[in-house]
Structure 1
Amino acid sequence: MEDPNATAAPPGSGDGPERRRRLSMPPLGVQVLVALVVGAVLGFAAPSFSEHLKIVGDGFIRLIEMSIVPLIFPLIVVSIARLESVRAVGRLAVKALLYFEIVTTVILIVTLFVAFATGIGRGANLHSLAPANTDNIQRSMDLPSLFLNIIPENVFAALGEGDLLAILFFAVFLGLALTKIGDKAKPVITVLDGIADAMFQVIAWVVRLTPLAVVSFVAYNTAHYGWDLVLKLVMFVAVFYGAAIVVLVVLFPIIAAIFRVPYVPMLRAVADLLLLSFLTRSAEVVLAPLIRRLDGFGVDRTVSSFSLPLGYSFNADGATMYEALAVVFLAHAYGVELTIPQLLTMLLVLMLLTKGIAGVPSAAIVVLFSASAVIGLPAEGVAILLAVDFVVDMARTGLNVAGNSLATLVIAKSEGLFRRPKEEVTA
């Protein structure tokens, strides 16, 4: 007999086929690990076939990119519109940018210490390696133009091109305007909320293709690049991964302890997304799921929807580490002794160039070209490092995502908008 006092389950939460299907599927992290093994085996066993799998991975990335702007724009507008005042928006932005600048500067200093302590690059015979083709890569950056381009000439063009910084700039202004018009803003906010929810659903469908995408990425990289070049530059790759681990397991926990946020539980909550960003070398792939995951972890949506997109542009911890390590590696390899003034100049240049470059193609390489030119290093060395960029980029991307997840927790905690639920949500 049915219990007459039983509460009806909400739609989609019962024992229907969809519920049973979700329960029977292994977690995303397990699926990705299996896909990693399958892709590696396929890449070694059938390299000719694996070369053609790149289109599958590229298609997956395009599906994600297709959904990012229609999701991020309404999320930012609504999160700003729901803050109590313009002053609250300014406070949130200032806290975020100040945190980003301090943490990336500390990472630069830690990386330089690791680079000089290990003597990375000394004795490296770069002349025996063939440089990659860099004809289509920008060699320098025009800082005034870079910052001016944050202001879109045409909002619709910025939306069409997926220019994240320009979209963020306009979305903040639109959100502020909605806070000022009162009740008239409610229909607009409702529509934008609905669009964001719909895009979350679209991305949830796309994410189901993740294992297939990982197989294609790993198989293609294994078949196309091989590991000969990686072995020749193994010192650079090993020190970079070692420095990344130091930041992940030493520096980030110290920051979390200072601000009293649960770092290890957060890592557990987003571990599969970190792994996915690592394997696909794309932070955008996990942006939407990361917002949902941090929401479930206790971060208020107004913070996660604002801080994460801002962090993707201004808080590239992994890229910052890469630039510093690569410059010292090349200086040592070419016998250039870096003086204190040169080091300070390089530190200042990297502090500036690693901010707001989300819309620049091959941004990390462009910054490296620019920083190397400042202290007189040959461009051929940068081109040689491109040979292992696909391996380094995995850790670089994963560290960027971890750093922005921690930043979002810290900013939410400082605003009193982080309330971790009793049961950790990882769905």
Structure 2
Amino acid sequence: MEKRGQLKRPSLMIQVVIGAVIGTLLGYLSPAVGMEMEFLGTLFMNFIQMVIVPLIFPLIVLAIVEISKAKRFGNVAFKSFAYFFVVTTFLIVLTLIIGALSNVGNGLLIDSISTEALDGIANSIDFRTFILGIIPSNVFQAFADGNLLPIIFFGIFLGISLVTIQEKAKPVLDFFDAWISAMFKMVNYAIAVAPIGVFGFLAYDVATYGVSNLLSLGQFVIWAYLAYAVVAFVVYPIIGLGFKVPYFSLLKETSDLSLLAFSTGSSSVVLPSLIDRLKKFGVPSSVASFVTTLGYSFNLGGAAVYTTLAVMFVVNLYGASLNVTDYIALVFFLTIITKSIAAVPSGAVVVLLASATQLGLPPQGVALLVSIDFFVNAGRTALNVVGNALAPVVIAKTEGKFVPSGVLNEKESSNLVK
């Protein structure tokens, strides 16, 4: 009788939705109070970001050790990069077609557009600096900055080095294994307060930006979300079908994480939890850790869709005419440049500015999109999470190592690569 009388605690998704609704209402009804709630979202974000690097680094090291022992590191790495480039290139081509057919941006007035929103943002990406930045001259600086690419690079080479010294590496590996368990426990504590963080973020964002920007540029927002939906509910399911991945089961399993990323506008918030969830779903620990982390830099499907549609918005806004050669060059340019988004501050905006410059278009159109980035960033971020949930399952499938949840426990699943 006592148990029957107790109220069941709502799921994380329901809690996040409740926090989002209350935050939105507060920001709309009382902007002054809503703007003061930003610190709650910042506290939550700091809590998560505090754990990301200390968790991701040992995960990469152990993943490399496990994959290397099975003599499959080159295989997994090659398949991952091939998958990332093929999928993101296809998404860019698809979005170019959507942007051209929809004529998004055509007919909007542009006379009074200001470029003030772009102050302090670079208008190009230096590929030499980007490549050199992958190999850190000071690894501790990379850890302090939270820059994942050099951390991944260092982790890969440390993992390979640990494999070569064999039994001497055991104390280090045991330490990392225990450390990871502690970090995941911290992540669980942080995720428990996610509804409060989402409440703070949305109260502040709605109070700051209001709904007028959404209404005035609703055309682009609508087409952006239609493109996101096509990828999430048409393209990704087809990929899942092709590799015999239970895509919609995966989507359901990670839906609360996608919603959390949507609400906070940050995919890094759910990275540790996503890796853990994929392991429970049936992906070997090594594949989940390696492919997911790598995907956060090279498999940003949502960012690829957004930047491509935004480029077409600027093209149509100014009535620019592109020929077949221009489109081919644009596909190649976006395929390469979008891989550097994760390593560049305001990466999506930088890509847009670089693309506009490449096409000879003024930056005012990009400034117009920056003013409503809050609204489209939510969907872009959620789609990044969905794409990075699918990729490790696909790679595990190609390796013959995916075992659906319920067949093996997590420990057995992590031992599959041995």
Do both proteins adopt the same fold according to a TM-score greater than 0.5, normalized to the shorter chain? yes
User: Structure 1 counterpart of 2:276, which letter?
Assistant: R
Give the alignment's Cα RMSD to 1 decimal.
1.9
Matched, 1:417 2:401: yes
Matches within 5 A, 1:10-409: 24-85=8-69, 87-409=71-393
TM-score by length of 1: 0.92
User: Structure 2 counterpart of 1:148, which letter?
Assistant: L
Instruction: Give distance in 2, aligned partners of 1:25 and 1:138.
Output: 47
State the partner residue of 1:4: none
Alpha carbons 1:303, 1:417 under 8 Å: kept: no
User: Structure 2 counterpart of 1:31, which letter?
Assistant: Q
User: Structure 2 counterpart of 1:336, which letter?
Assistant: A
Instruction: Give distance in 2, aligned partners of 1:315 and 1:53.
Output: 33
SS at match of 2:341: coil
Instruction: Give distance in 2, aligned partners of 1:132 and 1:67.
Output: 35
Alpha-carbon shift at residue 373 of structure 1 (Å):
0.5
Higher mean C-alpha deviation, range 262-271 or range 120-129: 120-129
Q: 1:45 to 1:101 in 2, by over 3 A?
A: same
Instruction: Give distance in 2, aligned partners of 1:131 and 1:110.
Output: 29
Alpha carbons 2:117, 2:371 under 8 Å: kept: no
Alpha carbons 1:297, 1:425 under 8 Å: kept: no
Alpha-carbon shift at residue 38 of structure 1 (Å):
0.7
Alpha-carbon shift at residue 345 of structure 1 (Å):
1.5
Alpha carbons 2:261, 2:382 under 8 Å: kept: yes
Alpha-carbon shift at residue 425 of structure 1 (Å):
9.7
Instruction: Give distance in 1, aligned partners of 2:225 and 2:215.
Output: 14
Alpha-carbon shift at residue 152 of structure 1 (Å):
0.5
Identical aligned residues as a percent: 42
Alpha-carbon shift at residue 360 of structure 1 (Å):
1.0
Q: 1:114 to 1:300 in 2, by over 3 A?
A: same
SS at match of 1:76: helix
User: Structure 1 counterpart of 2:401, which letter?
Assistant: L
Alpha carbons 1:131, 1:387 under 8 Å: kept: no
Question: Where does the alignment leave 5 or more consecutive residues of structure 1 unmatched?
Answer: 1-16
Alpha carbons 2:16, 2:198 under 8 Å: kept: yes
SS at match of 1:121: coil
Instruction: Give distance in 1, aligned partners of 2:265 and 2:259.
Output: 10
Instruction: Give distance in 2, aligned partners of 1:131 and 1:51.
Output: 25
Alpha-carbon shift at residue 114 of structure 1 (Å):
0.8
| Aligned positions, number | 407
Alpha carbons 1:79, 1:302 under 8 Å: kept: yes
Alpha-carbon shift at residue 86 of structure 1 (Å):
8.0
Alpha carbons 1:132, 1:386 under 8 Å: kept: no
Instruction: Give distance in 2, aligned partners of 1:201 and 1:397.
Output: 24
Instruction: Give distance in 2, aligned partners of 1:367 and 1:137.
Output: 11
Alpha-carbon shift at residue 422 of structure 1 (Å):
3.1
Alpha-carbon shift at residue 55 of structure 1 (Å):
1.6
User: Structure 2 counterpart of 1:305, which letter?
Assistant: S
Alpha carbons 2:356, 2:362 under 8 Å: kept: yes
Alpha carbons 1:316, 1:400 under 8 Å: kept: yes
1:357-385 deviation digits (Å, cap 9, x = unpaired): 32211111111111110011111111111
Question: Where does the alignment leave 5 or more consecutive residues of structure 2 unmatched?
Answer: 411-418
User: Structure 2 counterpart of 1:152, which letter?
Assistant: P
Instruction: Give distance in 2, aligned partners of 1:89 and 1:258.
Output: 24
Alpha carbons 1:269, 1:425 under 8 Å: kept: no
SS at match of 2:340: coil
User: Structure 2 counterpart of 1:26, which letter?
Assistant: P
SS at match of 1:133: helix
Alpha-carbon shift at residue 59 of structure 1 (Å):
1.7
User: Structure 1 counterpart of 2:237, which letter?
Assistant: P
Alpha-carbon shift at residue 90 of structure 1 (Å):
1.4
Instruction: Give distance in 2, aligned partners of 1:118 and 1:160.
Output: 44
Alpha-carbon shift at residue 208 of structure 1 (Å):
1.2
Q: 1:424 to 1:395 in 2, by over 3 A?
A: farther
Q: 1:391 to 1:244 in 2, by over 3 A?
A: same
Instruction: Give distance in 2, aligned partners of 1:59 and 1:248.
Output: 30
1:194-233 deviation digits (Å, cap 9, x = unpaired): 1111111111111111010011111111110011111111
Alpha-carbon shift at residue 297 of structure 1 (Å):
0.6
1:17-71 deviation digits (Å, cap 9, x = unpaired): 9xx99x9421100101111111111111211011111121112111111110000
- Structure number with the higher helix fraction is 2
SS at match of 2:120: coil
Alpha carbons 2:63, 2:285 under 8 Å: kept: yes
